[in-house]
């Protein structure tokens, strides 16, 4: 996935179909010149339906097609024949898509499961034909119901990535480099802050053909929860991750302080993020020998599991994957 085609926010206009009108018809055939009413009902208007697709990771496919209009229902006809239902329109979205009312910003629902279908704009009901309105006092009603109008409106889609592990760190902490080394993802990498402008996903291959998904978001800076830097736009993606991998480079001035800042930004964004399992990776550890690693131990937050890694010479990565796999599966017998 490249930065250019990752879209996690979009607005679309959905319009469902109007119900078909009921039929006003009196039964006529040879030798029956004054038959009773037999007008059929109108067909239902088409729905606009959202459907979860586990093979999609972005809302990019909706960037250039933002209007969806379902078909109107067909009119009823004689012999109590019901009109044709309007054809439904299906819009596939990635798992983790939140749907909001485009005007009120009210959260309507979320798509989280493969194949899950939810009606976004419901088609109007078809009108009832005159057959329904016959009575002992009105045996030949000459009226029927019109179809009910469909619904329409603007809707806002926001994507929260569904990943097993979320990478959390300051800009240039080595998150993208790690992702490129232990997955097949190819994020943009350079030696300056905010290289990553869009989230990236990668599949980490583990032992015995097992795997898990890792997500890298733009680096967080102090004040991100209030809108500073780039990370605030993407903090919501961490909400879906099962576990969090904090990354602090070995050349950091103060590992404890940097970790505390990252943790505080997550807390301000959503306190529930602190309930997730956490692991600390000291990145860029190729510049450390064993003596320097030992000297850094007092700077590492207590009661927080950690591992020294280097994406450059690929040391500590097996241990990292082992610890992450254990975290992800600790509740599985």
Average pLDDT rounded to a whole number, residues 283-303: 88
Strands 117-121 and 48-53: antiparallel
Q: How many angstroms separate the Cα of 61 from the Cα of each of 12, 38, 66, 321?
A: 12, 46, 9, 33
pLDDT at 186: 58
User: pLDDT tens digit string along 41-61?
Assistant: 999 999 999 999 988 878 888
Residue 196 vs residue 208, higher pLDDT: 208
pLDDT at 227: 47
Split at pLDDT 50, 70, 90, the class of 1 is very low
pLDDT at 187: 47
pLDDT at 184: 66
196: pLDDT strictly greater than 50: no
User: pLDDT tens digit string along 106-133?
Assistant: 999 999 899 999 999 999 999 999 999 9
Closest by CA position to 77, among listed 27, 133, 34, 124: 27
12: pLDDT strictly greater than 90: yes
Closest by CA position to 93, among listed 139, 125, 61: 61
69: pLDDT strictly greater than 50: yes
Split at pLDDT 50, 70, 90, the class of 3 is very low
User: pLDDT tens digit string along 16-35?
Assistant: 999 999 999 988 777 766 77
pLDDT at 5: 59
User: pLDDT tens digit string along 231-286?
Assistant: 455 677 777 778 999 999 988 888 999 999 888 888 888 888 888 999 999 998 98
Average pLDDT rounded to a whole number, residues 86-96: 94
Tell me the pLDDT of the chain averaged across its residues.
85
pLDDT at 179: 85
The rounded distance, in Å, linking the Cα atoms of 262 and 221 is 8
- The side-by-side arrangement of strands in the sheet containing 152-159 is 67-69, 9-15, 152-159, 97-101, 107-111
pLDDT at 74: 96
188: pLDDT strictly greater than 50: no
pLDDT at 56: 85
Question: Which residues, including other chains, have CB under 8 Å from residue 281's CB and lie 6 or more apart?
Answer: 178, 245, 246, 247, 248, 306, 307, 308, 309, 316, 320
Percent of the chain with pLDDT over 90: 45
Average pLDDT rounded to a whole number, residues 72-96: 94
pLDDT at 234: 61
Residue 332 vs residue 319, higher pLDDT: 319
Domains and CATH numbers, the chain: 3-159 (2.70.210.12), 165-328 (3.40.50.300)
């Amino acid at each position: 996935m490249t930065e250019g085609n990752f879209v996690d926010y979009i607005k679309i206009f959905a319009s469902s179909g109007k119900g078909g009108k009921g039929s006003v018809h009196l039964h006529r055939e040879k030798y029956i010149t004054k038959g009773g009413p037999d007008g059929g009902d109108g067909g239902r208007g088409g729905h606009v339906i959202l459907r979860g697709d586990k093979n999609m990771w972005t809302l990019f496919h909706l960037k250039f097609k933002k209007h969806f209009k379902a078909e109107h229902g067909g009119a009823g006809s004689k012999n109590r024949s019901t009109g044709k239902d309007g054809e439904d329109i299906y819009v596939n979205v990635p798992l983790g898509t939140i749907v909001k009312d485009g005007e009120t910003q009210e959260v309507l629902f979320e798509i989280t499961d493969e194949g899950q279908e939810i009606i976004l704009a419901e088609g109007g009901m078809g009108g009832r034909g005159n057959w329904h309105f016959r009575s002992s006092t009105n045996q030949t009603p000459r009226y029927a119901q019109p179809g009910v109008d469909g619904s329409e409106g603007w809707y806002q889609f926001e994507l929260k990535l569904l990943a097993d592990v979320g990478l959390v760190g300051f800009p240039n902490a080595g998150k993208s480099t790690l992702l490129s080394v232990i997955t097949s993802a190819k994020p943009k990498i350079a030696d300056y802050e905010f290289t990553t402008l869009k989230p990236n996903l990668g599949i980490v291959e583990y032992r015995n053909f097992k795997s898990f998904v890792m997500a890298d978001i733009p680096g967080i800076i102090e004040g991100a929860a209030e809108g500073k830097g780039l990370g605030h736009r993407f903090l919501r993606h961490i909400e879906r991750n099962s576990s969090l991998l904090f990354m602090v480079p070995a050349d950091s001035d103060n590992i404890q302080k940097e970790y505390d800042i990252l943790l505080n930004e997550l807390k301000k964004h959503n306190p529930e993020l602190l309930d997730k399992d956490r692991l600390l990776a000291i990145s860029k550890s190729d510049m450390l020998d064993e003596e320097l690693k030992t000297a850094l131990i007092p700077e590492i937050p207590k009661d927080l599991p950690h591992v020294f890694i280097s994406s450059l010479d690929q040391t500590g990565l097996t241990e990292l994957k082992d610890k992450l796999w254990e975290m992800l599966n600790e509740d599985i017998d």
